[in-house]
Amino acid sequence: MNNPDKPIDPEREKRKIKSVKRMKDIMTHYYIDAKTTDQTGKKVAWITSGGPVEPLIAMDVIPVYPENHGAMIGAAKMGVDLCEKAEEMGYSSDLCSYARADIACATVNGGPIGGLPRPDMLVCCNNICGTVLKWYEVQARYFKVPLFILDTPFNHTEYTKEAYAYVRAQLNEYIAFLETHCRKQFDFDRLAEVGRLSMAGQRLWQQVLDTAVHRPAPMSAFDAFFHLALIVTLRGTRTVVDYYTELLDEMKTRVATGIAVVPGEKYRLLWDNLPVWFRTRWLSDKFAAHAACLVADTYTSSWCGTLKYLDENDFFGSMAEGYSRVYINIGTDQMAGMVMDMVDKYSADGLVIHSNRSCKPYSLGQYDIQRIVQEKRGIPSLVIEADMTDARNFSESQIDTRIDAFMEVLKS
Amino acid sequence: MQHSKQFQDIFADPKAYARRWKEKTGGKVIGTLCSYAPEELILAGGALGFRIVGGSGSISKADAHLQSYSCSLVRGALEDALNEQLDFLGGAIFPHTCDSIQRLSDIWRMNAETGFHLDVVLPVKLNTQSARNYMAAVMRKARTDLEAVLDKIITDDDLQKAIGTYNGIRSAMKRLYTLRRDRPGTIDGSDVHAIVRASMVMDRNDFLNSLTQVVESLEQQPEPESKTGKRIFFSGGVCNLPDVYSVIESAGGTVVGDDLCTGFRGLTGLIDIGGDPMDAIADRYARRAICPAKHSGITRRGDDLVRLAKETRAQGVIFLFLKFCDPHAFDYPYLKSMLDAEGIPSLLLELEEQIPSEGQFRTRCEAFMEML
Ligand code: SF4
Ligand code: SF4
């Protein structure tokens, strides 16, 4: 916003990512579309962030993401209110704050966009957690709409043929579910096309993230948290491909012209877990003040991490593996391995671990990951106790001190 | 109660029992973390299934691996494993259940020295044909995996025998629960609890024999003075707190039924005999009383709870959850409202490792009893 009392800092202006505006427009249009289906007659499905969205796109169903909504609620600092409301409804304050905020929001149409559009159906994929199963059961009872569950067995040490056969069979059930509730036949050619666009979008997103291997990095994890929304919500559309193409160009230009997102970047850090949505700005400034840039994170890369399992020529068939082997549906030691790959790839000097009270499958095991990375890569790490949406679980003074102390270790 | 002395002894020190069993038989003791563990396969393999329901003391080593927001069961179990409290185990089996147990399995595998480690990644969804097929496939895989680690072929004959034992146990437990429902003075809540806990540890054939004797003698006892306590049904998760029963009883209540994880939930459903044993085992897992970490329709647990509360003519339901238990905490509001709709009052008691403050706990129970 233009504040007349505050002169525009040309340095800061130069570092701003220009695509941000376009991204905001796309998201605004997307939510307008989703909220005006009474005029267009389109159907709305609520789907989990790691869920198989492509068949919905192929069916012209508008996918809506309660988790993305949860992130918006968090960023708008409306999380505490809604979480408290859920607690009044009887939900324990120890449950995932996305779930609490969403469950409460559905009953009052609150939050930054006046609530999500009412779902015609719910699609829940448990590849991220068991929480979404319970959460979607709550919403299925509340909205009295059909619920489809894609059950993707956890991969502790191996991806089994039994699990593959099970998920593959469920994909057929998913199509049948959509045909029933959309009252039309599924078009597999259309899905093949959507699949190609989905993969193209994922590749571009990975390339965008990869630009941060450059020193200084043209973008940080905080930027990735923002630009992530598209690969989550509109994966499988042309819009995503076009947008990330543009964003990638901008990043390449920044690299070519030496624009650093953190001026005087000295330290490169890797972030683990979801963002702290209500404090991203504060955290980003805090690290930048130490000349530290969070060059990558394990969270945003999850939406392009399974490209190697997807097959452009058999997208439908390969979805079984692609959706089963996502980052948090694998063993802690495999996750540690991926963290180390990222440490190497992005030349990280340290690891910042967000121990997220809301997300047990992401957070339990982090101490072991920390230990393994410390042993094998010898880099220091910091654990921040927080939550992605519920600001009651964030102690600013404590975290401030801990970051300072951690940076002292890095600098010495 | 005199009959239940041997169960009380095992319940008081299950580890000592397992050690003795191991010494005596030379067999392997296998730790299990959930009521969905493939018990029949363990028995058919000649091993002793040992259900781990929490820790035995304060937490220190586990803190290096688990955040404070994991439930006391998960933290306590890991503490025991890291503290060599479970050194008698020849292996551990982790059925897939909640997010916390899921990660506990990884952390355990990487850090604990308790023999072999098997993950049995069951389906989360139980009410479709493809889930049943997967359940059966997972059970077959578990059989092969167990054969490898036990170095023993598990024959169909072994399986049929194990199924016979488990069907016997589950039928006898049902009779015990019926007694408790129909003649609440016959047996104390804490005795039933000790029996249930012993069922998770004791040599299963010995257990079946002892249990059958107890049930038969109880059934023959003359009708006791009818107990006037308020009829209470327990609903919830893992509960290794015997004191809960004495608190309820001294507050004027009688426990007439439960759907606890360390209660009746794991003891429901018989295995069909005659067909393929593996399919039959898998089938029972899909049919038995459901855990909140699994899915079988959106009101299955509520329907079951209302039915059981009515069947046991419960005047009130007490929910018992461990703090930080997501699956139960998510179900609580809808279960409560389904009970409300039936005019059945309920009380939620969230438990930490120990009853947080006995006094407060007692006061809440007493207030609830008075209200009924
Ligand atoms: S934050 Fe974690 S627990 Fe919550 S919905 Fe996402 S993956 Fe599940
Ligand atoms: S008590 Fe709840 S959170 Fe703890 S292990 Fe059991 S189901 Fe999981």
Q: Encode pLDDT of A191-238 as tens digits.
A: 999 999 999 999 999 999 999 999 999 999 999 999 999 999 999 999
Q: Omega of the bond prior to B292 within 30 degrees of 0, cis?
A: no
Choose among A380, A166, A386, A199: nearest CA to A305.
A199
pLDDT category, B354, cuts 50, 70, 90? low
- Residue A311's contacts (CB-CB under 8 Å, 6 or more residues apart) are A317, A318
Query: How many structural domains does chain B have?
Result: 1
Find the CATH number of the domain harbouring B108: 3.40.50.11890
Closest chain B residue to the Cα of A372, Cα to Cα: B110
Residue at B179 is within a domain: no
* Interval between CA B94 and ligand 2 midpoint (Å): 13
Q: What is the pLDDT of residue B1?
A: 53
pLDDT in tens, B86-116: 999 999 999 999 999 999 999 999 999 999 9
Q: State which of A137, A328, A335, A362 you would mutate to test the pocket of ligand 1, scoring each by most atoms of that ligand within 8 A of its C-beta.
A: A362
Q: Quick one: pLDDT at residue B4?
A: 77
Q: What angle do CA B300, B302, B307 make, to 5 degrees?
A: 95
Least confident of A79-83, A185-189, B50-54: B50-54
Q: Where are the alpha helices (DSSP H) in chain B?
A: 5-12, 14-25, 39-44, 72-82, 99-111, 129-150, 156-182, 189-199, 204-220, 243-250, 277-287, 300-311, 326-341, 358-371
Which residue has its alpha carbon closest to ligand 2 atom 1?
A: B325
Q: Which domain holds residue B118?
A: 10-157
Q: Is the CB of A324 under 6 A from ligand 1?
A: no
Determine the pLDDT at residue A1: 45
Point out the ligand 1 atom lying closest to the alpha carbon of residue A135. Answer: 5
Q: Is B111 within 8 Å of A368 when comparing Cβ atoms?
A: yes
CA distance linking residue A205 with residue A195, whole number of Å: 15
Judge whether residue A162 has pLDDT over 60. Answer: yes
Q: Hunting for tokens 């493939």 — which residue is that?
A: B38
Q: Is B217 at the interface with chain A, CB within 8 A?
A: no
Q: Which two tokens stand for residue B131?
A: 């889930």
Phi-psi region of B120 (alpha: psi -120 to 50; beta: other; left: phi over 0): beta
CA atoms within 13 A on the CB side of B239: 31
Work out the average pLDDT over B320-337. Answer: 96
- For residue B306, being part of any structural domain is answered with no
Look up the CATH number of domain A15-411: 3.40.50.11900
Closest atom of ligand 1 relative to the A50 alpha carbon = 7
Helix (H) or strand (E) segment spanning residue A284: helix A280-289
Within 13 Å and on the Cβ side, how many CA atoms surround A148?
Answer: 26
Task: Summarize the confidence of residues A12-33 as an average pLDDT.
Answer: 92
Exposure string over B89-117, b if 16+ CB within 10 A, otherwise e: bbbbbbbbbbbbbbbbbbbbbbbbebbbb
Which residue carries 């102690």 as its tokens?
A395
Residue A366 to residue A355: CA distance in whole angstroms: 7
Atom from ligand 1 closest to the CA of residue A128: 7
Indicate whether A165 pLDDT > 70: yes
As a whole number of angstroms, the distance between CA B180 and CA B262 comes to 16
Percent of chain A with pLDDT over 90: 95
| CA separation for the pair A23, B225 (Å, rounded) | 75
In a domain, B307, yes or no: no
Q: Which residues lie closer than 8 Å to B69 by C-beta, 6 or more apart? A: A94, A357, A360, A363, B324
Q: How far is A338 from chain B (nearest CA, A)?
A: 15
Q: Which residues of chain B does A177 touch, with a Cβ-Cβ cutoff of 8 Å?
A: none
The mean pLDDT value for A140-151 works out to 98
For the stretch B210-266, pLDDT in tens is 999 999 999 998 877 666 789 999 999 887 766 788 888 888 899 999 999 888 888
Q: For ligand 2, say whether the CB of B291 is within 6 Å of any of its atoms.
A: no
AA letter at A68 = N
Decide: A103 and A67 in contact? Cβ < 8 Å: no
pLDDT interval class at A247 (50, 70, 90)? very high
- pTM assigned to the model: 0.96
Q: Label residue B353 by pLDDT band (50, 70, 90).
A: low
pLDDT (tens digit, 9 = 90+) per residue, B135-159? 999 999 999 999 999 999 999 999 9
**Would the CB of A299 count as within 6 Å of ligand 1?**
no
pLDDT for B264 equals 86
Q: Considering the domain boundaries, does residue B296 fall inside one?
A: no
Residue range B106-127: mean pLDDT, rounded: 97
Tell me the average pLDDT across A349-370.
Answer: 98
Closest CA to B270 of B291, B292, B287: B287
* Exposure on the CB side of residue A313, measured as CA atoms within 13 A: 0
- Do A82 and A112 meet the contact criterion of CB atoms below 8 Å apart? no
Residues of B in Cβ contact (< 8 Å) with A361:
99, 102-103
3-class DSSP state for residue B107? Answer: helix
Confidence band for A4, pLDDT divided at 50, 70 and 90: low
Strand order from edge to edge, sheet including B116-120: B48-51, B29-32, B89-95, B116-120
- Residue A101 CA: which ligand is closest? 1
pLDDT over 80 (residue A3): no
Q: How many residues are present in chain A?
A: 412
Residue B246 is predicted with a pLDDT of 83
